[in-house]
Amino acid sequence: HQNLDSAALNGADVAIDFARADGVLNRIGICRDEGVNLVMGTTGWYDNLDEARGLIGLSSIGFLWSSNFSIGVNLYFKIVERAAELMNDFDEYDVWGHEIHHFNKADSPSGTAKTLEKILLDNLERKTAVVEDKLDRKREPNEIHFSSLRGGPVNFRHKIGFDSAADTINIIHSARNRDGYALGALKAAEWLNYKTGFYGMNDFLNF
């Protein structure tokens, strides 16, 4: 929770944190001081990741952060990565992204969308920038437009489109509920127990 203190960690081996982005570094510091490993699912604090690495590097705890703990989503990341690698040689295909989440989600675009953006930029040489805002101009050839929508009580969907004059290839992940996220976080916590250092889901899933 937002006001995490040492008493809340008494007797814990691993903590799981999905609280708001403000206070993330403080919560990491408390876990570090108490010697409790930490699984972090909070999104919207990407500018502080290097600082978090520094905190973990000076500690004896294990820390695993991911924008998404769903096993299916992490498989989806690998599928999109491979698709982008293949599309790199076929510049007649443009690429775009879209995500929709429930109306209670606090950040936009989603952390999963941010990860997808990085995957696309890393694997498509013709794309060097992402635009997330509404476009009131022509989109530049080197840009990827990644849009977001918020609505409904239970929406979790990401879509990557590869589009040419001849056809369109859509790669979609839709979650039916939150169960996959919770299960992935619990499995990650079991894996992280007794480890030290900074990890991501690729380490846990051995990708």
What is d(CA 163, CA 93) in angstroms, rounded to the nearest whole number? 5
Give me the residues paired with residue 17 across strands.
40
What is d(CA 144, CA 112) in angstroms, rounded to the nearest whole number? 16
What is d(CA 100, CA 157) in angstroms, rounded to the nearest whole number? 5
Q: What single DSSP character describes residue 47?
A: G
- The label of the residue with tokens 């990708």 reads 207
What is d(CA 204, CA 46) in angstroms, rounded to the nearest whole number? 20
Contact partners, residue 11, CB within 8 Å, separation at least 6: none
SS3 163: strand
Spot the catalytic one: 1, 78, 101, 118. 101
| Upstream peptide bond of 109 is cis (omega within 30 degrees of 0) | yes
Spot the catalytic one: 98, 102, 105, 134. 105
Give me the residues paired with residue 129 across strands.
143
- The label of the residue with tokens 């050839």 reads 141
Q: Is 101 a catalytic residue?
A: yes
The catalytic residue positions are: 101, 105
